[in-house]
């Protein structure tokens, strides 16, 4: 594992520990999303990406934790992937995470 990946994973693990435990109520049934999708489409997406719908009083911590876990998973995929990540793929993913952070800033500032 590259030193930069190892360092990033250590930092992410520490940040996730600081935020835990976020108290959540998990929902087994599908929550209304107001999306223009059929319930089975949402359920299919959720199952594929292992998404859980939750409610919490700690919304900011829950959202930040989710983004950090997604970022950590992405780095782990890079580390364990047999194919190289292109510069364009890397930049696209970085922009996606930056967009998440900007959204959180708008929501909670």
Confidence of residue 70 (pLDDT cuts 50, 70, 90): confident
Cis peptide before 21 (omega within 30 of 0): yes
Same domain, 95 and 108: yes
pTM of the model: 0.69
Same domain, 29 and 69: no
Count of structural domains within the chain:
2
pLDDT tens profile 73-109: 888 888 887 777 788 888 888 888 888 888 888 878 7
In whole angstroms, how large is the CA radius of gyration of the chain? 16
Residue pair 10/77 in contact (Cβ under 8 Å)? The answer is no
Same domain, 11 and 62: yes
Average of per-residue pLDDT across 17-28? 81
pLDDT at 33: 66
pLDDT tens profile 28-56: 776 666 778 888 888 888 888 777 778 88
Same domain, 62 and 11: yes
d(CA 54, CA 16): 17
> 10 is written with which tokens?
């250590």
How many Cβ atoms from other residues are within 10 Å of residue 50's Cβ? Answer: 7
Confidence of residue 10 (pLDDT cuts 50, 70, 90): very high
Same domain, 84 and 100: yes
Same domain, 71 and 86: yes
- Domain interval for residue 40: 23-57
Same domain, 67 and 49: no
Same domain, 11 and 27: no
pLDDT at 107: 79
């Amino acid at each position: 594992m590259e030193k930069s990946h190892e360092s990033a994973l250590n930092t992410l693990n520490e940040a996730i520990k600081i935020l835990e435990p976020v108290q959540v109520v998990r929902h087994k049934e599908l929550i209304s999303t107001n999306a223009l999708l059929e319930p089975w489409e949402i359920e299919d997406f959720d199952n594929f990406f292992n998404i859980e719908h939750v409610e919490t009083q700690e919304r900011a911590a829950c959202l930040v934790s989710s983004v950090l876990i997604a970022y950590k998973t992405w780095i782990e995929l890079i580390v364990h992937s047999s194919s190289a990540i292109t510069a364009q793929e890397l930049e696209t993913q970085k922009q996606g995470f930056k967009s998440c952070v900007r959204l959180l800033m708008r929501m909670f500032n």
